[in-house]
């Protein structure tokens, strides 16, 4: 295989690994190697070290250069930045740049870096300055969108003197979370019942059979997710959709679980009506 073809395939492989969140070690997997050989026997799979130390950095620099040229043309940009913590408790900051290109909104990730020092406003300001200087957008920033954490707001206003715009989705999240606190007792009953059906295979199968007997398409109850209020919406939506099969199945299994009163069932429907517009706005 000629070097140009080899290089293109190597870069395509790295793109696949990046886009699909695959490990570099995929090139050592027996099944993948056989599949690759069947597609093109003349292609020599690079090692994981070659991918991570040579191909990936080379492709990164190429893409960085292309993006840098596009950003140079932009007369004004808006930034979004957020801080998040990994499962290993390492804090990261992400900075994304947005601008109009040929009448289309364009967004590029500028940096995602570990925040090792204290999350002070001064330190955040230094890091944001570093990122914007590296990409040459420091004099093009018209606004920066973040959540309402005091440290990042102070970094933007007191140190960088950028216009700050609160994240609309974050504000909606705070509003809905505050509202749902008022109905936690009812929601806890719902989550307890849902957990019961997910823990018990017998109960889950019985619920499925009951739905069929009532002429309904069998649907599984949805479980709660710790992050975001959206999962509460999806839980309640599914829960109310199969209300009658749930009531019937719980009666047949004699499970000692908290029952929802007629008023609480009505409350669950009302909550859905209230938070549905919020869900639609945050997912559109």
Q: What CATH number is associated with residue 142? A: 3.30.420.40
Confidence (pLDDT) at 225: 64
Residues 185 and 214 in one domain: yes
Residues 97 and 184 in one domain: no
Residues 237 and 255 in one domain: yes
Among candidate residues 140, 81, 143, the one with its CA nearest the CA of residue 112: 81
pLDDT in 10s for each residue of the chain, 284 residues:
888 999 999 999 999 999 999 999 999 999 999 999 999 999 999 999 999 999 999 999 999 999 999 999 999 999 999 998 888 889 999 999 999 988 999 999 999 999 888 889 999 999 999 999 999 999 999 999 999 999 999 999 999 999 999 998 888 888 888 888 889 999 999 999 999 999 999 999 999 999 999 999 999 998 876 556 888 899 999 999 999 999 999 988 888 888 899 999 999 999 999 999 998 888 76
Q: How many CB atoms lie within 10 A of CB 1?
A: 12
Q: Is 59 helix (H, G, I), strand (E, B) or coil?
A: helix
Rounded-to-integer distance, Cα 172 and Cα 174, Å: 5
Residues 101 and 154 in one domain: yes
Residues 53 and 149 in one domain: no
Among candidate residues 113, 10, 6, 109, the one with its CA nearest the CA of residue 59: 10
Q: State the maximum Cα–Cα separation within the chain, in Å, rounded to a whole number.
A: 73
Residues 63 and 83 in one domain: no
Q: Is 199 helix (H, G, I), strand (E, B) or coil?
A: helix
Tokens of 76: 């004004």
Q: Is 200 helix (H, G, I), strand (E, B) or coil?
A: coil
Tokens of 281: 């706005």
Task: List CB contacts of 160: < 8 A, sequence separation 6 or more.
Answer: 125, 128, 129, 144
Confidence (pLDDT) at 104: 93
Confidence (pLDDT) at 118: 85
Tokens of 278: 């919020």
Rounded-to-integer distance, Cα 146 and Cα 207, Å: 44
Domain count across the chain:
3
Give the Cα-Cα-Cα angle 191, 192, 198 (nearest 5 degrees).
Answer: 85
Tokens of 16: 């696949």
Q: Helix 3-19 and helix 56-73: axis angle, to 10°?
A: 80
Residues 278 and 178 in one domain: yes
Residues 37 and 101 in one domain: no
Among candidate residues 55, 48, 101, the one with its CA nearest the CA of residue 76: 101
Q: Containing domain of residue 82, as a range? A: 74-166
Residues 180 and 278 in one domain: yes
Q: Which of 69, 95, 110 is the last residue of a domain?
A: 69
Evaluate whether 55 touches 10 at the Cβ level (below 8 Å): yes
Q: How far is CA 224 from the centre of its chain?
A: 16
Tokens of 191: 């989550």
Residues 96 and 155 in one domain: yes
Q: Which of 43, 69, 95 is the last residue of a domain?
A: 69
Name the pairing type of β-strands 91-101 and 164-166: unpaired
The sign of the CA dihedral 85, 112, 151, 282 is negative
Confidence (pLDDT) at 227: 58
Q: Which of 36, 69, 102 is the last residue of a domain?
A: 69
Residues 258 and 159 in one domain: no
Three-class SS string for 108-161?
Answer: EEEEEEECCCCCCHHHHHHHHHHHHHHHCCCCCEEEEEECCCHHHHHHHHHHHC
Evaluate whether 235 touches 228 at the Cβ level (below 8 Å): no
Residues 177 and 161 in one domain: no
């Amino acid at each position: 295989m000629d070097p140009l073809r080899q290089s293109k395939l190597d870069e395509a492989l790295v793109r696949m690994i990046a886009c699909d969140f695959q490990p570099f070690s995929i090139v050592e997997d027996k099944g993948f190697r056989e599949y690759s050989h069947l597609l093109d026997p003349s292609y020599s799979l690079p090692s994981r070290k070659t991918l991570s130390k040579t191909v990936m950095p080379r492709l990164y620099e190429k893409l960085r250069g292309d993006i840098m040229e596009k950003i140079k043309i932009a007369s004004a940009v808006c930034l979004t930045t957020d801080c998040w913590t990994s499962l290993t408790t390492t804090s990261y900051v992400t900075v994304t740049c947005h601008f109009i290109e040929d009448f289309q909104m364009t967004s590029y990730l500028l940096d995602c870096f570990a925040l090792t020092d204290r999350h002070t406003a001064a330190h955040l300001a230094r890091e944001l300055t570093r990122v914007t200087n590296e990409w040459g957008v420091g004099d093009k920033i018209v606004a920066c969108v973040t959540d309402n954490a005091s440290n990042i707001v102070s970094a933007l206003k007191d140190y960088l003197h950028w216009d700050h715009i609160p994240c609309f989705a974050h504000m909606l999240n705070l509003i809905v979370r505050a509202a749902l606190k008022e109905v936690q007792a009812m929601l806890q009953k719902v989550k307890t019942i849902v957990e019961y059906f997910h823990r018990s295979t017998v109960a889950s199968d019985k619920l499925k059979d009951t739905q069929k007997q009532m002429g309904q398409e069998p649907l599984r109850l949805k479980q709660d997710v710790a992050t975001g209020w959206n999962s509460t919406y999806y839980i309640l939506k599914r829960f109310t959709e199969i209300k009658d099969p749930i009531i019937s199945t719980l009666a047949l299994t004699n499970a000692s679980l908290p029952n929802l009163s007629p008023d609480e069932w009505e409350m669950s429907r009302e909550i859905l009506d209230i938070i549905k517009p919020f869900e639609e706005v945050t997912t559109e």
